[in-house]
């Protein structure tokens, strides 16, 4: 027996690639927070991973010699390796060299403010003219999932 499909029911639509590119381009800059946000958004846009998977990304998950990146998947057991896209690698290297606080912690992305979740800051740093907000869906820690929706201007 097939599942019931209602007349007005459709799959949730994501942003177009143009909107995603506009969001990523908005983080181009030389301020530390925009360098960090640019690296995070590149990971989210290119690999389509969840915000928690980016938050848990460790320095050892990036194999610079083999040019691969591995994500520990939150919904399916195990890790998945992907080729490291050069533009993503460049964004991560810039963040690591210029912005990342000195730390013994293995996570790639560290918060600027102790006790604050760094992925929450993304919505605050997006330009107002873009009028983008993270979806209402939150992960188990209350952090917004980075599935951006575009709102009319």
Which sequence spans correspond to the domains of the chain?
17-150
User: What is the distance between the alpha carbons of residues 1 and 109, in angstroms, rounded to a whole number?
Assistant: 46
Cα dihedral 19, 55, 65, 68, rounded to 10, equals: -50
pTM score above 0.75? no
Looking at the predicted structure, is the pLDDT value of residue 143 above 50? no
The pLDDT of residue 26 is 87
Report d(CA 15, CA 127) in Å as an integer. Answer: 17
Pick among 3.90.950.20, 1.10.443.10, 3.30.110.30, 3.40.50.740: CATH of 17-150: 1.10.443.10
Instruction: Convert the pLDDT of each residue in 108-135 to its tens digit.
Output: 987 655 444 445 555 555 555 444 444 4
């Amino acid at each position: 027996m097939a599942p019931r499909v209602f007349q007005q029911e459709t799959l949730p639509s994501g942003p177009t690639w143009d909107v995603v590119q506009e969001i990523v381009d908005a983080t181009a800059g030389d301020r530390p927070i925009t360098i960090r946000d640019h690296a995070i958004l590149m990971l989210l846009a290119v690999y389509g991973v969840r915000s928690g998977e980016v938050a848990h990304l460790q320095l050892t998950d990036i194999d610079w010699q083999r040019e691969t990146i591995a994500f520990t998947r939150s919904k399916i057991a195990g890790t998945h390796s992907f080729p490291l896209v050069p533009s993503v690698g460049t964004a991560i290297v810039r963040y690591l060299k210029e912005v990342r606080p000195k730390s013994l912690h293995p996570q790639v992305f560290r918060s600027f403010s102790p006790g604050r979740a760094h992925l929450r800051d993304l919505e605050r740093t997006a330009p107002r003219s873009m009028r983008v907000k993270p979806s209402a869906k939150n992960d188990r820690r209350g952090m917004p999932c980075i599935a951006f929706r575009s709102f009319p201007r």
